[in-house]
Structure 1
Amino acid sequence: MPNLPAKWLDRHLDYRLPMLGGGDVRIVQLRLHALGYVAADAADGLYGPNTRNAIQAFQADRGLAVDGVVGEATMAALMIPSGETPRAATATTFKPLRRPAPPTPHQPPQPTEVVPAAWLPNARARRIVCHWTGGNYRASAEDLEHYHFVVQGDGEVVRGRHAVDANDSTADGIYAAHTRGLNTGSIGIAVACMFQASERPFSPGPCPMTEAQWRRMVALAAQLCARYGLAVEPRTVLGHGEVEAILGVRQRNKWDPLLLPWQPELATAEVGDRFRSAVIAALHAHEEGEPARALAATLGGRPMRDAAAFDCGIWLPVGGLVDDLGWRLEGADGSGLTLVTPDERTLYLPFCYGPDDPSDPAWVFDRARVLAEGLVRAQSVAEQLGLGLVVAPDGQRIALEGSPPAAPGEAAPAPAFRTVTVNGGDTLAALAARHLGDSGRWTDIRDAQGNPFTRETARRLAVGAQVLIPTPTEGPAAAATPAPPLDDLVAELVALTPAWSRGHARQAIPVLVSCCLANGVTKPAHIGYVLATAEHETNFGRLMEEKWVNSDEQRRYEGRFGNDRPGDGKRYKGRGYVQITFKANYAKFQDVVPGIDLVAEPERAAEPDIAATITVIGMRDGRFTRHKLSDHLGEVDGDFVQARRIVNADLERTDAWDETRTPRGQRIAARARAFTAVLHGQWQRGGADAAMGDGSGGGI
């Protein structure tokens, strides 16, 4: 393999909250998949608990220190090139991997039981998608047909017509159809509400979602995650309105349940992050009404007095922040208080006196009592300071990690910023997720004059505007939230694409490039041609699934190439970045995604990670036409025109929409050369310090 840019591999990876994300995480996950440790759809680019568990299993098998951290030794072992013997690709391979024994006999408490255990059969659940019904506060017969569970207005959870395991496969047509194109393996839960609601201008209608329903949905999601071993990550716990942006599965202008009637100013991305944070807290906290449980707590490595877990949340003592860490209490009201950190950051935080603290309309500020008994939500502190909230595996300790406020007497370092230009579709939350690893850190971004954004100015963010994003400083804080390693490369590649397809290119290019690297396709010309092919075939996934209109040509799919049952033509229609069609071709690619039955679940070929794997391995190994990338292309050059034969022999064909009437082979070749030039430039700038996969020990 050629030397890869060192900046792509310059940090250790471990599990924390907010989770580390980026192209380097995806590369690790795809290598774990290639070696048989995780399923293909686990490569979501987020270092969650499932990735940590897989790394621990890999480390144990390789005789490495079992710590769940990807450092130099682990990365070097992961990237040993082809010739390794992967784990057997059997159905049992992708059951939850073994976890190391906890350091103490204590087990974390189970979340609140919202529904009876009998309602939760064994199932191959992969994600939870949250909805609202768009009706009144009672579940209708139609609601019960489409969702597995519905939270009614009084908080009662009713069971739908279909059990969770009905969605293990959708081939028989008997399942809960709640999310377009994403029902296989998906649990659908909904809140009964929002009749006649409108998004713009926002109106919740006569039946707005209530906070009680929201909390009930959080508790239900936590129970489902615990029952089915789901990590709480954006790809596994998400709102219907997030599906298209996060998973790339097109929906029809869905926005549920991501606008809160009691906080309508919150951006939808922030609502999704808050929901997942609440689910995480519920998984690690006692049931409502139980006594508070003490947790040892640290902030930025500095100990403070114990935190408390109750009411599906984790709470920090105000006195500990003030006395132990030097924070300043400015004031309080009945629901929140104002604290100022030693480096003069002002926080307004949800506040209470404990699990039995009643709402008191005559509440008055008592400084002594606030300091002695007051508690603030740990997740709110983490969000406002851009820290990760980590709960230890034994359930007895929490840590807020990252770049903490300076202690008294310490000089807070002046933040450094880099300039980023806003592209179409960008929001501050999206920029914070991409560059800082946490969408909640959008408040750390500044405008071109260095001023912080308010919610109002954030809504007016314009395409082409320049914003200032914090850069990591020296030391541990720098390692905590670096910019995603592939970000600069992706930006250069996306800039080559037409404006009308740039949104899809921005989603597809990091998936395809990471998949190439993880599967040994590392030559710039090879990656460049993969990208050019995906652009030509489906506009980078804009047409990820063949539109079925029952045309004469489509009707001829029946009875050919393995389509041996009525309806197989439509069932095995074209899907993917490079579309595969016919049952025989779905079967041919079975082995590239072990643990996933593409014949039984053909719709999964349209999932971005699976589609990328089929495209990359198909072009690498000659599975489409027996022509391989290496047959036509070298490191940075080769016969880019004849390379079209890797996928199709139509290189002389012209397209009616192309006014220049340029043959396809030549047109795709020109695009491939442009992508290759950018990739080659990145390779040259990357230096020779990060050799990957040659056994030299190069790594993160």
Structure 2
Amino acid sequence: MTTYSIRSGDTLGAIARRFNTSVDKLAKANGISNPNKIYAGQKLVVDGFDAPKATGGGSGGSSYTVKSGDTLSGIAGRHGTTVAALAQANGISNPNRIFAGQRLTIPGSGGAAPSAPASGGGGGSSYTVRSGDTLSGIAGRHGTSVGALQQANGIRNPNLIYVGQKLTIPGGGAAPGRPSNPPPVGGVGGPKPAPGGSAGVTVAQLRGVMPNLSQAKAEQYLPHLNQAMAEANITTPQRKAMFLAQLAHESGQLRYMEEIASGAAYEGRRDLGNTQPGDGVRYKGRGPIQLTGRANYRAAGQALGIDLEGNPARAKDPDVAFRIAGWYWQSRNLNSYADAGNFREVTRRINGGYNGMADREAYYRRAQDVF
């Protein structure tokens, strides 16, 4: 009997695509009455379905199935190609929008390891940071570590890199796409995950915490949410429960990626960095954690390598919005309070007070049941 063990971030739809079948057939073969209710570790019978296509095929290239937490730049780096080449080969118009279970064609010579980058002398090379880059992604593409990159470039905070910054890539690492050690789950240079933890949630878990979130929206948001949780090291059940409970309250179960009010109430709020006419409306709350104020937009943009101060509307786009929420969580050291079970302090550091505490606690209790 051939079986498949469900992994964190899997959906029945993605698994069905992987085995060239339908959700209905998979559900029927495994006695699943609700396709949204599957869980990590669950064994599925996949007898009679086509096995997933093997990667590393013919001379025209290979294929790769996107996993939860993947980014197009990370996939490109691991396979010795570029984001542009991947996007062109797969008809991807927005490189930030890929999803778990998506099958990608890897252009090139059948997945052979790419040649090492040209050396810049002295055993290393250089790299110019581009929009959307993270230090861990750059490290993975060049076969080095976040720590080595920090040391070679005098970077104290691995979250603070910016577009156009020139980095020295230390020599002696593996060729790009073949790192000697996998990049840390901490994403943008965060610490290693807590013992026993793993990043990512499933559609069923997400909707278990937020029952009013539609299936379609949950599937759309999940890869971006899981990437953000990996980058912020939100890997344990306790951290996941607190993080999702706060997001559920702040965004109305992810229904509102932009504050309904005009933002005029924030006009002149110097504590938010709103010092210019129109800043209140321009930098009103956006994203699942409702980023507010020019100063916060600037700080988040600098950390993520995105010009949010110049283009604040990007803060409501899912590929950016969830990363902002992860950055905000990590920058305020909220994992430590989550580990201590201090939901009240997590609330205070997000809200500045305890507004909506009963609602937040209700989501938290639901999340605890889920995880």
TM-score by length of 1: 0.29
| Partner in structure 1 of residue 240 of structure 2 | 527
Change (3 A) 1:20 1:618: same
Q: Please state how far the C-alpha of 1:501 moved relative to its aligned partner.
A: 5.0
Contact 2:266-2:281 at 8 Å conserved across structures: no
Change (3 A) 1:487 1:548: closer
Tell me how far apart the structure 2 counterparts of residues 81 and 669 of structure 1 sit (CA, whole Å).
Answer: 39
Q: Please state how far the C-alpha of 1:19 moved relative to its aligned partner.
A: 6.2
Higher radius of gyration, 1 or 2:
1
Change (3 A) 1:85 1:9: farther
Of the three residues 635, 642, 651, the one matched with 2:345 is 642
The one-letter amino acid of 2:243's match is: V
| Partner in structure 2 of residue 616 of structure 1 | 326
Q: Please state how far the C-alpha of 1:647 moved relative to its aligned partner.
A: 0.5
Tell me how far apart the structure 1 counterparts of residues 200 and 231 of structure 2 sit (CA, whole Å).
Answer: 17
| Partner in structure 2 of residue 600 of structure 1 | 310
Of the three residues 18, 23, 28, the one matched with 2:68 is 23
Contact 1:572-1:581 at 8 Å conserved across structures: yes
Change (3 A) 1:545 1:13: farther
| Partner in structure 2 of residue 674 of structure 1 | 366
Q: Please state how far the C-alpha of 1:27 moved relative to its aligned partner.
A: 9.4
Tell me how far apart the structure 2 counterparts of residues 644 and 31 of structure 1 sit (CA, whole Å).
Answer: 38
| Partner in structure 2 of residue 665 of structure 1 | 357
SS state at 1:591 partner = helix
Contact 1:525-1:676 at 8 Å conserved across structures: yes
| Partner in structure 2 of residue 85 of structure 1 | 149
Spell out, residue by residue over 1:638-684, the C-alpha distance to the aligned partner (whole angstroms, 9 max, x if none).
12233212301332x4xxxxxxxxxx3343234234334544xxxxx
Contact 2:274-2:295 at 8 Å conserved across structures: yes
| Partner in structure 2 of residue 44 of structure 1 | 98
Q: Unaligned 5+ residue runs, structure 1?
A: 64-73, 95-99, 101-484, 623-627, 654-663, 680-700
The one-letter amino acid of 2:334's match is: L
Tell me how far apart the structure 2 counterparts of residues 524 and 58 of structure 1 sit (CA, whole Å).
Answer: 40
| Partner in structure 2 of residue 513 of structure 1 | 226
| Partner in structure 2 of residue 581 of structure 1 | 292
User: Which is strand-richer, 1 or 2?
Assistant: 1
The one-letter amino acid of 1:665's match is: M
Tell me how far apart the structure 2 counterparts of residues 610 and 579 of structure 1 sit (CA, whole Å).
Answer: 12
Spell out, residue by residue over 1:228-284, the C-alpha distance to the aligned partner (whole angstroms, 9 max, x if none).
xxxxxxxxxxxxxxxxxxxxxxxxxxxxxxxxxxxxxxxxxxxxxxxxxxxxxxxxx
Tell me how far apart the structure 1 counterparts of residues 9 and 285 of structure 2 sit (CA, whole Å).
Answer: 36
Contact 2:241-2:368 at 8 Å conserved across structures: yes
Tell me how far apart the structure 2 counterparts of residues 58 and 530 of structure 1 sit (CA, whole Å).
Answer: 40
SS state at 1:589 partner = helix
SS state at 2:343 partner = coil
Of the three residues 514, 520, 536, the one matched with 2:249 is 536
Contact 2:200-2:227 at 8 Å conserved across structures: no
TM-score by length of 2: 0.51
Q: Unaligned 5+ residue runs, structure 2?
A: 11-51, 85-93, 125-135, 156-160, 167-174, 176-197
Tell me how far apart the structure 2 counterparts of residues 496 and 91 of structure 1 sit (CA, whole Å).
Answer: 36
| Partner in structure 1 of residue 130 of structure 2 | none
Of the three residues 566, 573, 585, the one matched with 2:277 is 566
The one-letter amino acid of 2:65's match is: L
The one-letter amino acid of 2:70's match is: V
Matches for 1:154-193 after TM superposition, within 5 Å:
none
Tell me how far apart the structure 2 counterparts of residues 31 and 643 of structure 1 sit (CA, whole Å).
Answer: 36
Tell me how far apart the structure 2 counterparts of residues 13 and 59 of structure 1 sit (CA, whole Å).
Answer: 24
Deviates more, 1:610-619 or 1:525-534: 525-534
SS state at 2:291 partner = coil
Matches for 1:452-467 after TM superposition, within 5 Å:
none
Change (3 A) 1:8 1:621: same
Contact 1:546-1:575 at 8 Å conserved across structures: yes
Change (3 A) 1:59 1:499: farther
Matches for 1:418-429 after TM superposition, within 5 Å:
none
The one-letter amino acid of 1:674's match is: R
Of the three residues 302, 310, 325, the one matched with 1:591 is 302
Contact 1:632-1:639 at 8 Å conserved across structures: yes
Tell me how far apart the structure 1 counterparts of residues 362 and 218 of structure 2 sit (CA, whole Å).
Answer: 17
Change (3 A) 1:501 1:562: same
Matches for 1:68-147 after TM superposition, within 5 Å:
78=140, 83=147, 85=149, 89-92=161-164
Change (3 A) 1:6 1:500: closer
Q: Please state how far the C-alpha of 1:525 moved relative to its aligned partner.
A: 1.4
Change (3 A) 1:18 1:580: same
User: Which is helix-richer, 1 or 2?
Assistant: 2
Q: Please state how far the C-alpha of 1:619 moved relative to its aligned partner.
A: 0.8
Matches for 1:306-321 after TM superposition, within 5 Å:
none
Q: How many residues align?
A: 247
SS state at 1:647 partner = helix
Contact 1:532-1:671 at 8 Å conserved across structures: yes
Q: Please state how far the C-alpha of 1:14 moved relative to its aligned partner.
A: 7.2
Matches for 1:271-282 after TM superposition, within 5 Å:
none
Contact 2:68-2:223 at 8 Å conserved across structures: yes
SS state at 1:91 partner = coil
Q: Please state how far the C-alpha of 1:616 moved relative to its aligned partner.
A: 0.8
Q: Please state how far the C-alpha of 1:516 moved relative to its aligned partner.
A: 1.1
Tell me how far apart the structure 2 counterparts of residues 49 and 85 of structure 1 sit (CA, whole Å).
Answer: 27
Change (3 A) 1:633 1:8: closer
Contact 1:574-1:580 at 8 Å conserved across structures: yes
Matches for 1:195-344 after TM superposition, within 5 Å:
none
Tell me how far apart the structure 2 counterparts of residues 528 and 647 of structure 1 sit (CA, whole Å).
Answer: 15
Q: Please state how far the C-alpha of 1:29 moved relative to its aligned partner.
A: 3.7
The one-letter amino acid of 1:85's match is: L
Tell me how far apart the structure 2 counterparts of residues 518 and 530 of structure 1 sit (CA, whole Å).
Answer: 13
SS state at 1:508 partner = helix
Change (3 A) 1:29 1:515: farther
Contact 1:619-1:646 at 8 Å conserved across structures: no
Is structure 2 residue 331 aligned with structure 1 residue 633? no
Tell me how far apart the structure 1 counterparts of residues 114 and 252 of structure 2 sit (CA, whole Å).
Answer: 38
Change (3 A) 1:530 1:496: closer
Change (3 A) 1:80 1:519: farther
Change (3 A) 1:30 1:546: farther
Q: Please state how far the C-alpha of 1:587 moved relative to its aligned partner.
A: 0.9
Contact 1:532-1:672 at 8 Å conserved across structures: yes
